[in-house]
Chain A
């Protein structure tokens, strides 16, 4: 499906979905260039909608997003943004699913590892580096850092006592 019909279809699922800021699509005949930084259709949802949306995106006949090619998190000043990059192998379309976590003190979101198996380890990485807790995750431990590591390094407010990075 093209971007427009994907957007229309998803808009019918819930009225609370935000779509990415006005993606300008390239129109060569009219000389309109695509606005940079909006490669994919992006949808932004709330944490409590995640499971429902994920299941629909994975299983809906017209969606079939069966390949999660990236899962990560971004630390913004007043919220965390979970970013899931999804691709449908059969239908060859792509989409970015974003979950806005407003509560920065206790970031919690549902795990998706039973829908996309690759999420299990990518979520562990996000837990390790951002401290986002995934509920119902089968094995939520630190993955890259030591088990007794203090703090979450990829958060913007993380202070490293040695601070090699800011040298």
Chain B
């Protein structure tokens, strides 16, 4: 009422800028958003990135292809297996060598475990961003089990470097299958609890439903891939459209939603976790025998002259690796099409007219990882 009277009397309101970040809990890393505000209403979001830019593409121009694999899990550290896999697949396709069925299945299981752990972390942090600390503890509790499984087989918990061109670094640990099955059984009882906590929570629903709507056309135009794009009905799952590793032999649904609001982006990831578990279940008892490292790959890898492109589906969307090779042991030019980069810049488009608290929820469901954006 006061505002209305003020407008009638001709008092002008003034738009102003505030900085969100670079150190802000909900930016999930060093990201700075400049917000142009009218009161609490967002007029414009200007993302400033580059705080963790390490010039990975330039570095790779001096690295060998084996070394490049190691750099990739410093980009999107929550999709480390898939990032490794992208470079390995590119090298294998360019050299026209195949990997054994065993490697394909192991890679697929590892990728899906990574996706699960990434989504668990996202779910925990999403709840925390909206003010519910419990979800953070739940998410990290269950993610810990996956990290332990990774540690046993890969020797590391976050930057695994498990995939190598032509295979994987080590064979799976004897406990691997049992522990994965135990985890799936455990997580199947816990995932409904996640739903009870957030998905069916009235406060949560009010803060997410109908907020930050992204249409299918805009999702395609802005290049929004992964669950963020699929929540708008944009079918972009590389696992379905261009199957790699063992995805052509497993049965799973591509989760597509219609509305494209914050809640459907949330729901898309929740449903995706069930699909990931189903993929792992289909494969875990059927890991074929075979060599874990192809002998066709030499110690020093030289790609033939030409240009190569490989896409994989990470937890955030389509990661593309583009290599221009001049026939030497290092790429002439390598470009990483990181999903986070395109996904971040849609914020300005969807956040207009909403409040700062809504922006926090939107950022959570876009699920950005800043090192992936900055590279």
Using a CB–CB cutoff of 8 Å, the interface residues on chain A facing chain B are: 33, 35-40, 42, 66-70, 72, 74-75, 83, 85, 89, 92, 96, 116-118, 120-122, 125, 129, 143-146, 153-154, 165-166
Q: Which residues of A contact B333 (CB under 8 A)?
A: 72, 74-75, 154
Beyond A36-B94, A39-B308, A117-B218, is A72–B58 a contact (Cβ under 8 Å)? Answer: no
Are A70 and B62 interface neighbours, CB within 8 A? no
B48-105 residues at the A interface, CB under 8 angstroms: 49-50, 53, 55, 57-59, 61-62, 94, 96
Majority secondary structure of chain A interface residues (helix, strand, loop or mixed): loop
Are B223 and A67 interface neighbours, CB within 8 A? yes
Are A89 and B50 interface neighbours, CB within 8 A? no
Q: Which residues of A contact B222 (CB under 8 A)?
A: 117-118
Majority secondary structure of chain B interface residues (helix, strand, loop or mixed): mixed
Q: Closest CB-CB distance, A126 to chain B, in whole Å?
A: 10
Are B322 and A143 interface neighbours, CB within 8 A? no
Q: Closest CB-CB distance, B60 to chain A, in whole Å?
A: 10
Are A39 and B55 interface neighbours, CB within 8 A? no
Q: Which 10 A-B pairs have the closest CB atoms?
A: A37-B306, A118-B223, A144-B50, A70-B337, A72-B335, A117-B221, A144-B53, A121-B345, A74-B333, A117-B222
Q: Verify if B325 is at the interface (C-beta below 8 Å from A).
A: yes
Are A70 and B320 interface neighbours, CB within 8 A? yes
Are A165 and B234 interface neighbours, CB within 8 A? no
Please count the residue pairs between chain A and chain B whose beta carbons lie under 8 angstroms apart in the complex. Answer: 97
Give the residue name and chain of the A residue nearest to B307 (CB): A37
Using a CB–CB cutoff of 8 Å, the interface residues on chain B facing chain A are: 49-50, 53, 55, 57-59, 61-62, 94, 96, 218, 220-223, 225, 234-236, 241, 304-309, 311, 318, 320, 322, 324-325, 332-333, 335, 337, 341-342, 345, 349, 374-375
Q: Which residues of A contact B320 (CB under 8 A)?
A: 69-70, 85
Are A39 and B223 interface neighbours, CB within 8 A? no
Are B306 and A38 interface neighbours, CB within 8 A? yes
Q: Closest CB-CB distance, A14 to chain B, in whole Å?
A: 23
A40 interface neighbour in B61, B218, B309, B325, Cβ under 8 Å: B309
Beyond A69-B223, A116-B221, A165-B62, is A121–B342 a contact (Cβ under 8 Å)? Answer: yes
Q: Which residues of B contact A36 (CB under 8 A)?
A: 94, 96, 304, 306, 308
Q: Closest CB-CB distance, A81 to chain B, in whole Å?
A: 9
A120 to B349, CA, bound (A): 13
Give the residue name and chain of the B residue nearest to A58 (CB): B221
